Amino acid sequence: MIEIPKTMKAMVLTAYDRLAKMELPVPAPGHGEVLCRIHSVAICGSDPKMIHGGYANVNWPPYFPFVMGHEWAGEVVALGPGVTQFQVGDRVAGEAHKGCGICDNCKKGNYSVCLNYGRDGHDGNADMGHRHYGFAWQGANAEYNVYHVAAIHRIPDNVSYDVAAMCDTAGVAMHGIALSGITPGGTVVVIGPGPIGLCALQIAKGMGAGRVIMVGRGSKLAFAGKMGADVLIDFEKEDVVRRVLEETNGIGADEVLECSGANDSPMKACYMARKTGKIVLTANYRDDRPSFQLPLNTIVFNELKILGSKANPNVSGTVLNYFSNGIINGEALVTHRFPLEDYPKAVDLFENKRDNVIKVVINP
């Protein structure tokens, strides 16, 4: 038996741009849920944006004080009623999305776009069982949190908690690639050598891309070279579209994976894709900056497929295996670790890209 305390340390968003360490009650697992001791939480690009109020329009967080954190790994320490799939002591990694399971989209496996989104009972609405941990429902920036069994996955023995916490990061890349497919022997362009882009690069290689061209700048672009990118294009120094066309004999790339979140990148991606090419948008874009018109006739005449990709449904097992068998080098991506009390410092370092940061992990 693992002894579970009544209260726990948590890092709480008390208002936009206000973080405080608080003592909160340890939540109790309900039917189909488990209580997890959180070992590692990775900071996502969406976290600083939420802290600053950048998701107020979609109601993230839905209330204050709120515990964020959605890229996590830990250990099952207590089972709720009806749980048979997991045992106390299991090492698990989490997903942010847990769909209602009964709507049309969930039934087709598309639970990150659940039609009962937000129907989690928190504001007095009927609880349809939907959870969006760390965004619309209490997250992992704490010593403990409760998760539905549908949102957790066993971690292979040779994968550390810190790496497994990137199940979400790598899963976002994997879901985008699952939508587009990878042309065996073909050319993939990855725009944005951040954590998602670096995972996309390694997954694309693992799935048989002949060549991966990475677009970025500075130390992260150089790092992408170390992680296996075949061609590096610095967008500050070169015309990216022209260079991609040169590299592909004027034909363009089979797949373009947009992982940067720069508002002009989707438009450029249309010009660097081959006829019938696929463009996947995995990033979040800035609503407060101008959008760039997509070249509509290029899309029509070249039969481009532009795919929006949200979160990481149905890919956690795959990416945990990729960490385990080395297709994704997870250890290389975790550059910084902090205790929970230093979360504000960690967010600052991550957000302002100090000290060649790639991925920051908090150990509560």
Q: What does the binding site for Zn ion look like in residue numbers (CB under 5 A)? A: 44, 71, 99-100, 103, 106, 114, 116, 168
**How would you classify the pairing of strands 187-191 and 253-258?**
parallel
Nearest to 90 by CA among 34, 41, 18: 34
What is the C-alpha separation between 219 and 119, in angstroms, rounded?
43
Task: Please state the closest distance from residue 44 (CB atom) to Zn ion, in A.
Answer: 3
- In sequence order, the β-bridge partners of residue 145 are 36
SS3 of 344, please?
A: helix
Our CB check for Zn ion shows the closer of 106 and 204 to be: 106
Amino acid at 283: A
For residue 50, give Cα distances in angstroms to 38, 204, 210. Answer: 21, 30, 37
H runs (alpha helix) in the chain = 46-51, 104-107, 161-164, 167-180, 195-206, 218-226, 240-247, 265-272, 296-301, 316-325, 330-333, 343-351
Instruction: Using the structure block, give the residue that is written with the tokens 């002894």.
Output: 3
Residue 224 to residue 197: CA distance in whole angstroms: 9
Give the nearer residue to Zn ion in terms of CB position, either 76 or 128: 128
Nearest to 128 by CA among 115, 119, 117: 119
Structure tokens at 58: 């979609």
Burial class (CB in 10 A: 0-12, 13-18, 19+), 64: exposed
Select 116 or 141, whichever has its Cβ closest to Zn ion. Answer: 116
Q: Which is nearer to Zn ion, 47 or 143 (CB)?
A: 47
Pick the closer one to Zn ion by CB: 100 or 229. Answer: 100
What is the smallest separation between the CB atom of 210 and Zn ion, expressed in angstroms? 29
Alpha-carbon distance values, 315 to 52, 176, 179 (Å)? 30, 10, 11
Q: Which is nearer to Zn ion, 106 or 280 (CB)?
A: 106
Query: From the CB of 283, what's the least distance to Zn ion, in Å?
Result: 11
Whichever of 33 and 254 has its CB closer to Zn ion, that residue is 33
Closer Cβ to Zn ion, 44 or 152, answer by number: 44
d(CA 266, CA 342): 36
Q: Of the two residues 268 and 336, which places its CB atom closer to Zn ion in the complex?
A: 336
The radius of gyration computed from the CA coordinates of the chain, to the nearest angstrom, equals 20
